Amino acid sequence: MQIIEGGVCAAQGFKAGGIHCGIRKNKSKRDLSMILSAVPARAAAVYTTNLVKGAPLVVTKENLADGLAQVILCNSGNANTCNADGIDIARSMCDMAAQATGLRATDVVIASTGVIGQPLPLAPIAEGMAPLVASLSEHGSAQAAEGIMTTDTVRKEIAVTFEAGGKTCHLGGIAKGSGMIAPNMATMLVFLTTDANISSFMLQKALSEDVKDSFNMVSVDGDTSTNDMVTILANGMAGNDEICAEGNDFSAFCEALAVVTQTLCKAIARDGEGATRLITCKVSGAKSTADAKTAAKAVTRSSLLKAAIFGADANWGRVLCALGYSGAALDVTQVDVTFASAKGSIEVCKQGAGVDFSEEKAKEILLEDAVDILITLHEGSGEATAWGCDLTYDYVKINGDYRT
C-alpha cells in the first residue's frame, strides 16, 4: 500500500470540482462541489443517528436503495435541516445535477453542511450548476474539498493504492469537519471513491465496520451533527475480479479504507474549532475492545482534560476522572497513564496513583501540537484509539456568533 496524491480523483474514472455559487456571502469561499464517476458505481453510506436529520440524508438514503450512484453534490454554508421544504429542495438539487450531467436524479448522492434552520435558496445552485460541471477535472479533488468546508481551516484529502486480484486499485477521500463532532456512526461529511470492483453488499459491510474504529472514535466538542454522512462510490474501473466475499482481496480493501479514514479522522480532530493540539488517546489492557473504546472516547471528550492539554498542564487526575465515569469495566487502582509527544514521554500515574515527575518536562511534552495519552488498564487484551483536540478560547468565539 502506498499513499499518493489525488484525493477523490486518484481512482480511475473520477472527476471533481468546486465553485462559489453564492450560498455563502464570502465570494472567496467555494460553496458547491461535485464528484462524478465516468460509469455507474456501487455505493454505500452511513448516516448520523441524531433524530434530527438533514433533508439531504433522507433523499440520499432513498437514492442509494438500489446500491448505485454516479454523482455526489454538496453545498456548504447551509445545512438544509429543519426546513419545511427541505426534502423538496434536496430533490430539486438532485434534478439539477442530473440535468447538468445527463444522468438520473436517483443516482445522485446529495449533501449539505452549514447553518441549521435557514432556508436554502435554489437560485444560486441552479445558476452555478453549469459552471460547476464545467469545473470538473481529474485534478479537481482540492477544489471539491474546499467547497464542502465551513469552519474548517484546512482542506482534508488523502488517497492510497493497493493490490486486489493482481490489479492496482486506488482509494481516496475528502472530508469536512471541525465542530459539532461527537459522532455515533461517522463524522460530518466524508466522500470516498475507489476504482476497485466490489459488490454493494461487501462495500457496505466494509464501510459499516470501518467507522466503528475510525469516525466513531473522533470527538471535538461532544455534539453529534444532524448532517453526518460518510459515503463511498466504487466504479470497478481497476479491472480486478469482483470482491463479493471475505478473503485476501477484501482484507486488502479494508486495510486501504482504514488508512484513508483514520488519516481523515486525525485531520478532523487536528482542525477542531479553535484547536491547537491533536489529542490521541490509546487504551490497552482493557477487558474487551468495547471497554477500551468506551474508555478512550471518554478521555478525548472530557472538557476538563481538553482544557488541561490546551494549558499544557499535566493534570492526569482528569484522565482518571474520565475513566471513572466512562462506564468501562476497570479497576482504577491498576491504571497507568503516560503523556507523550515528539518531545518524549513521561509517566504520570502508576496503579491509579500519582508518581514523581518533572512538571517542566511534562509541560515541554504537552506543548507539542500532537499529544498522546497512553493508558494501560491491566485488565485484558482489549485496545482502542480515539482522537480529539484541546479546548481553547477560540472555540467559544467561533460558536458564539456562528449563525449571525
pTM of the model: 0.91
Q: 127-153 pLDDT, tens per residue?
A: 999 999 999 999 999 999 999 998 888
pLDDT over threshold 70, residue 187: no
* Cβ atoms within 10 Å of 28's Cβ, excluding its own: 6
Q: Give residue 143's Cα distance to chain centre.
A: 18
Grid-cell match 484522565, residue found: 319
Provide the pLDDT confidence category of residue 105 given band limits of 50, 70 and 90. Answer: very high
Whole-number pLDDT of residue 404 = 67
Measured in degrees and rounded to the nearest 5, phi and psi for residue 229 equal -160, 140
Q: What domains can you pick out in the chain, each with its CATH number?
A: 2-270 (3.60.70.12), 278-400 (3.10.20.340)
Cβ-based neighbours of 262, under 8 Å, separated by 6 or more: 213, 214
**Tens digits of residue pLDDT in 324-360:** 999 999 999 999 999 999 999 999 999 999 999 999 9
pLDDT band for position 185 (50/70/90)? low
H or E segment and range at residue 115: strand 108-115
For the chain, report the end-to-end CA distance as a whole number of angstroms. Answer: 45
User: From CA 336, how far away is CA 374, in angstroms rounded?
Assistant: 8
Spatial separation of the C-alpha atoms in residues 346 and 368, rounded to whole Å: 14
Place of cell 472530557: 302
* Catalytic residue from among 187, 194, 226, 338: 187
pLDDT band of 184, cuts 50, 70, 90: low
Q: What is the tens place of the pLDDT at every residue in 73-84?
A: 999 999 999 999
Which is more confident, 151 or 307?
A: 307
Whether 60 is a known active-site residue: answer no
pLDDT score for 231? 97
Q: Given this model, what pLDDT does residue 274 score?
A: 86
Q: In whole angstroms, give the CA distance from residue 174 to residue 193.
A: 9
